[in-house]
């Protein structure tokens, strides 16, 4: 049985065989994956050892102390937080062995082709079509709000394969090569001036049936695995005290006493306490994941994350007054990372507006919490059993 002492020995052996100072970054990450120290709770041979998830911190601490490189998790967050757990749970053995290693090492960046112009909050209404043609599927449609599509090699894709079935039952889940002919990525400029999001047009894209994840028509069930992990990845990130958005506001408060008023003081105290509660709840959620899969609790965490970010950034702008409106760069950039804490208060205020949309709108998440956490009656859904092709659009 793998325990903390065993993981320390394995970590020491990895460092001895591949000293970080003399080993290239990619070579070290590959060796770490092959040693089962990438995500220790994954199965043997797939970057893990079948160990409890809680023991990952033992490995991470040992490698960090030795100055070993990490896999830049923020840059590949969609792959790590959404694609990987879905492939692990629903993929074939061949798919797991093909995709998980380069995904974890960061050699292949992933994006998520789910939302569409007419199917954002109501994702199951999506209209991108995939038609079977021999051993391939031919995909046509449009996706929108796709983070990192301009950087991605692979995408997790939902497409409709049976328009005669009810909307939740006629969807299939695919792994799409973003370099294939017929895939076009266009930037969407945001209120911040950046274009981290994209719209993606799929025109006659040919996807082999070997890159279908799960059974044909069972894509909604597969997608729920992705969505549950996505909400935890966004709202359940483990942070140190005063990590995240509350940190810059607290520092400004301490360093610039001339900005203080009694009203702002009371509001800051309240938000600081809420941020600490959210941080501890995220820690508890992470510990809970060690013994099971993400559940609807992730929706509640993501809800709180969005609201807190918006309220905290609003307080920061108000605290700074006219200075809080300054913004150093409005030129359109194509960033690899969203930098919430390394930019100006004005940037944080504008970017946080998207937190209640991305990863599931707050309105939909409220429904999930009401129905699946609190057990309240579901809202009436008149289109649930109707064929997708008969629905008004």
How far CA 169 is from CA of 87, 119, 220, 383, in Å, comes to 20, 15, 7, 12
> Beta partners for 218?
171
> Are the C-beta atoms of 171 and 109 separated by less than 8 Å?
no
DSSP-assigned states of every residue in 25-44: HHHHHHHHHHTT-SSTTSPB
How far CA 357 is from CA of 48, 150, 196, 231, in Å, comes to 33, 20, 14, 12
Q: Please name the residue ranges forming H helices in the chain.
A: 4-17, 25-34, 56-65, 77-78, 84-90, 93-105, 219-235, 246-255, 262-289, 297-320, 345-351, 362-368
Q: Which of 116, 230, 316, 344 is catalytic?
A: 230
Please choose, from the candidates 118, 232, 132, 117, the residue with its C-alpha nearest in 3D space to the C-alpha of residue 186.
117
DSSP-assigned states of every residue in 267-285: HHHHHHHHHHHHHHHHHHH
Task: Answer yes or no: 230 catalytic.
Answer: yes
Q: Is 390 exposed, middle or buried (0-12, 13-18, 19+ CB in 10 A)?
A: exposed
Cα atoms in the Cβ-side hemisphere of radius 13 Å centred on 319: 29
Q: Which residues are catalytic?
A: 230
């Amino acid at each position: 049985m793998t325990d903390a002492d065993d993981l320390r020995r394995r970590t020491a052996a990895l460092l001895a065989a591949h000293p970080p100072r003399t080993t290239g970054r990619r070579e070290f990450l590959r060796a770490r994956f092959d040693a089962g120290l990438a995500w220790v709770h994954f199965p043997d041979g797939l970057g893990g050892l079948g160990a409890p998830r809680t023991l990952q911190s033992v490995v991470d601490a040992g490698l960090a102390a030795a100055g070993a490189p990490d896999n830049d998790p923020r840059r590949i967050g969609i792959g790590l937080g959404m694609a990987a757990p879905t492939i692990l749970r629903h993929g074939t053995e061949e798919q797991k062995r093909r995709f998980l290693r380069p995904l974890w090492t960061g050699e292949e960046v992933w994006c998520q082709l789910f939302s569409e112009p007419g199917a954002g909050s109501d994702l199951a209404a999506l209209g991108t079509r995939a038609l079977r043609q021999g051993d391939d599927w031919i995909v046509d449609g449009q996706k929108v709000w796709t983070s990192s599509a301009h950087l991605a090699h692979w995408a997790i894709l939902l497409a409709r394969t049976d328009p005669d079935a009810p909307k939740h039952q006629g969807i299939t889940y695919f792994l799409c090569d973003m370099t294939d002919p017929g895939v076009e990525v266009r930037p969407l400029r945001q209120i911040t001036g950046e274009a981290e999001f994209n719209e993606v047009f799929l025109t006659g894209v040919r996807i082999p049936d070997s890159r279908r994840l799960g059974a044909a028509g069972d894509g909604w069930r597969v997608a729920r695995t992705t969505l549950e992990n996505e909400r935890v990845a966004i709202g359940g990130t483990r942070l140190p005290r005063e990590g995240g958005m509350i940190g810059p506001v607290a520092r400004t408060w301490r360093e610039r006493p001339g900005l203080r008023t009694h009203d702002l003081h009371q509001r800051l105290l309240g938000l600081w306490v809420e941020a600490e509660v959210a941080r501890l709840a995220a820690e508890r959620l992470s510990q809970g994941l060690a013994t099971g899969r993400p559940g609807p609790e992730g929706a509640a965490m993501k809800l709180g994350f969005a609201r807190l970010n918006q309220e905290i950034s609003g307080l920061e702008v108000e605290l700074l007054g006219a200075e809080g409106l300054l913004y150093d760069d409005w030129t359109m950039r194509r960033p690899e990372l969203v930098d919430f804490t390394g930019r100006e208060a004005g940037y944080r205020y504008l970017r946080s507006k998207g937190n209640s949309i991305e990863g599931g709108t707050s309105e939909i998440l409220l429904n999930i919490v009401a129905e699946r956490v609190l057990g309240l009656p579901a809202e009436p859904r008149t289109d649930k059993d109707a064929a997708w092709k008969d629905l008004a659009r």
